[in-house]
Amino acid sequence: MRNASILAPSLLAGDHANLAASARLVADAGATWLHLDIMDGHFVPNLTFGPETLAALHRAGCTLFFDTHLMLAEPHRYVEAFAKAGADLISIHIEPAYDHAGTLAQIRALGCQCGIVLNPGTPADAVRHLLDQVDLVLVMTVQPGFGGQSFQAAMTEKIATLRRWRDEQGQTWRLEVDGGVDLRTAPLCHAAGADTFVAGTAFFKAPDRAEFLRNISALAGD
């Protein structure tokens, strides 16, 4: 049985002059997750939010599930700060050299769910040894760093491989996709096995954001 579909709108595509208002748009549309792209200017060529952004959103009354994606060269140095700031789930990349398993265990010890992330050029095999330690696997369908990129359809094969491994092992982690996700590409990802969809530009620019959410939610588990 596949997990029910979840939309996690990306705050990166919101109004950076009023992030709390953008988070309210997400909640008002009926979403329960908010995706937070954390970039350090080293692992990816961009800078975004720090732990204080999460804390400030909580102080502003945001109660969404904080799906926190650390695109950092040294994520192990920052997981505690993000957990204390209110992250609910913290995902880390497999590509940098650090103690991946130890960092996942640290995230869980801090009371958060944990996830592992693969860039487009990283094979599924790179995370296979960690799949029994995570709550979520995130497949990047664009090269991380900037929003608004085009979806890489070839990533559906990687999604299908991960879903097959999950099913063979009887595991329950969520399979998330991020990058160029819209109402055309989300069904392709769902058909391959994805159940959690990060959408930035497509969500915030949708004429009817609640309808966008309903269309994603209609990709029901089967």
Residues designated catalytic: 37, 178
Beta-bridge partner residues of 176: 138, 196
Locus of tokens 């979840």: 6
Beta-bridge partner residues of 35: 10, 67
Instruction: Beginning with the edge strand found earlier in the chain, give each strand of the sheet holding 174-178 in spatial order.
Output: 6-9, 196-199, 174-178, 136-140, 113-118, 89-93, 65-71, 33-39
Question: If we measure between CA atoms, which residue out of 6, 7, 5, 11 comes closest to residue 201?
Answer: 11
CA distances from 147 to 35, 140, 144, 165 (A): 13, 12, 8, 29
Question: If we measure between CA atoms, which residue out of 78, 71, 64, 77 comes closest to residue 32?
Answer: 64
Q: Which residues, other chains included, contact 76 with Cβ-Cβ below 8 Å and sequence gap of 6+? A: 92, 98, 99, 102, 103, 106
Question: If we measure between CA atoms, which residue out of 130, 137, 133, 148 comes closest to residue 204?
Answer: 148
Locus of tokens 């975004």: 48
User: Chain-centre distance of CA 146, in angstroms?
Assistant: 14
